[in-house]
Amino acid sequence: MTNEQLVIRIKAGIDTAENMLALYEQVKAFIHSIDWKHRGLGEVEDLEQEGYLALYDAIDGYDPDTGNKFLTYAEYWIRQRIVRYIERNSSSLRLSYQSQARLRHYKRLCDSFMKEYGREPSKAETAARMGIRSGISIKTPV
């Protein structure tokens, strides 16, 4: 049975546990390929479990009438769940998701600026590129 057929059966409530197990067995290698890329950031078994749990969100949102393959749709949910797990558990310093996103943006900005100009951006250049008013004091993250 295809992934799409299994998802339709699961959404219809037909042998949900059996069909979930069959779906997991079919996509296990795909989930493993995603969590393997993040293996240094968490235990592979934990990342794989997060990928499995992401299947529930993917099943809930999947619409077979769009003609998309289930794994194409599920990949977003699996990656997002694994990345969020890593962000929640990889540091003793707890930052909100928005703060972590701003920090990633800052780091990407600094990297691209370094590649383009061969130096670190000044505080004013950083503020301008991040859309922060120049009158605000910027503390460089450690």
Residue 140: DSSP 8-state: P
pLDDT per residue as tens digits for the range 19-56: 999 999 999 999 988 888 777 676 778 888 999 999 99
pLDDT at position 3 is: 93
Contacts of residue 110, Cβ cutoff 8 Å, sequence gap at least 6: 120, 121, 126
- pTM of full prediction above 0.85: no
Domains and CATH numbers, the chain: 3-89 (1.20.120.1810), 93-142 (no CATH)
pLDDT at position 141 is: 60
Could you give the maximum distance between any two Cα atoms of the chain, in Å?
61
- DSSP string of 13-56, one letter each residue: TSSHHHHHHHHHHHHHHHHHHHHHTTGGGS-HHHHHHHHHHHHH
Q: Which of 60-74, 86-100, 103-117 has the lowest mean pLDDT?
A: 86-100
